Amino acid sequence: MRRRFLLAGAGLVAGLLAALSPMSVASAASTATVYVVHGIPKTPVDVYVDGQRAIDDFQPGTSQGPVELPAGPHKVAIFAADAADGSGSPVLSADADLPEGANVTLVAHLDADGKPTVTPFKNDVAKVAAGQARLVVRHTAAAPAVDVLAGGKPVIQGLTNPNEKELTVPAGSVSAAVAAAGSTDPVIGPANVDLKEGTATFVQAIGSLQDKSLGLVSFTISNLHSSPSGVPSGAPSGAPYEPGPPAWVLVLGVAGLAGVLFVARQRVRSER
């Protein structure tokens, strides 16, 4: 089954090229960051980049990366792991044109009909607001549209293969599950996912619903945190401390009041 995918022609990579100007000066050190996800069940593979073996015996349901590759065009070929090295016909092959500074995931997976394919995704590595975490869910499984549940409630709805949706959530542990769209009956999970502050977690749903081989492959990119915008360490009631007047003020005040009363009484008497 020989397939040839021109990733450079894919809409996503075209989008990358638009976002990251290809005309920018490329130094010798210019690179792109690449993650690879293997989501095709029961098929360990070897991955070759430009004729060199990059990943040996890559197991289904796992990810590799990050790998820094020189920016520019690359030939990616995926062979069955037990094939003689680099010989014969690849299971999948693709031409990937990586823009300088790009951060991408190449997912080898089943399409909605169960056929092997490769889909490139741009990884959103923008800074995350203080206290928050980013969750990106990718539907790369042979399954119909799904909802993603957090704590039993849908947070992503109607996600289809091969698409992704992104959420920004308060950092912490969340009980996540995947269910058929419109359902709350999990087909994957629920599983506790620890979304650490200032990170982006990329979750790929993989496998096949029909073959009961659905699963998740995830990886996390750290150091995307932002600083809090300030430190409001003033009075929580909205007004500052107002200590009572010093004792000598009270003494003077009482003495003064007594004096006034005394004078007043004297006047009252004298007016009689």
Residues near another protein, by CB under 8 A: 35, 63, 65-66, 129-131, 170-173, 191-194, 197-198, 201, 203, 216-223, 225, 227-243, 245-246, 249, 252-253
Helix (H) or strand (E) holding 240: none
State which residue, 51 or 232, has the beta carbon closest to another protein. Answer: 232
State which residue, 52 or 233, has the beta carbon closest to another protein. Answer: 233
CA distance linking residue 129 with residue 198, whole number of Å? 7
Longest pairwise C-alpha distance within the chain = 127
CA distance linking residue 207 with residue 106, whole number of Å? 16
State which residue, 11 or 232, has the beta carbon closest to another protein. Answer: 232
What's at 114, amino acid-wise?
G
CB of 251 to another protein, least distance (A): 12
Cβ proximity of 111 and 41 under 8 Å: no
CB of 160 to another protein, least distance (A): 21
State which residue, 77 or 137, has the beta carbon closest to another protein. Answer: 137
CB of 56 to another protein, least distance (A): 18
Identify the DSSP state of 144.
S
Three-state DSSP class for 172?
Answer: strand
Concatenating the DSSP letter of every residue in 82-129 gives TSPTT-S--SEEEEEEEPTT-EEEEEEEE-TTS-EEEEEEE-------
State which residue, 32 or 91, has the beta carbon closest to another protein. Answer: 32
What's at 138, amino acid-wise?
R
CB of 3 to another protein, least distance (A): 28
How far is the CA of 56 from the CAs of 53, 61, 124, 231, in angstroms? 7, 15, 27, 50
Identify the DSSP state of 70.
E
CB of 151 to another protein, least distance (A): 13
State which residue, 51 or 238, has the beta carbon closest to another protein. Answer: 238
CB of 187 to another protein, least distance (A): 15
